[in-house]
Amino acid sequence: MNKNTILGWATFVMVLMGLLLIGLGLFRYDDVAGWGFAAVGIGFFAIAWVFSSLKGRV
């Protein structure tokens, strides 16, 4: 596997975890913890976006 393939898989895993965390925040926790889970999930999306933009440049 080359560097671009690894960054592609890392992007996929980060998006998957972001969706999982946002889903936990929406459906499992109804109090303030849900906001925290959703915020961390959005952070995972931001990191996945960085990984995706680095693909082809590294």
Q: Which residues contact 51 (CB under 8 A, 6 or more apart)?
A: 7, 10, 11, 14
pLDDT of 9 strictly over 90:
yes
Domain regions of the chain by residue span = 3-54
What sign for the dihedral angle of Cα 44, 50, 52, 55? negative
pLDDT at 31: 86
- 8 Å CB contact between 43 and 22: no
pLDDT of 42 strictly over 80:
yes
pLDDT at 22: 94
Encoding tokens for residue 53?
Answer: 């933009």
| 13-22 pLDDT, tens digit each | 999 999 999 9
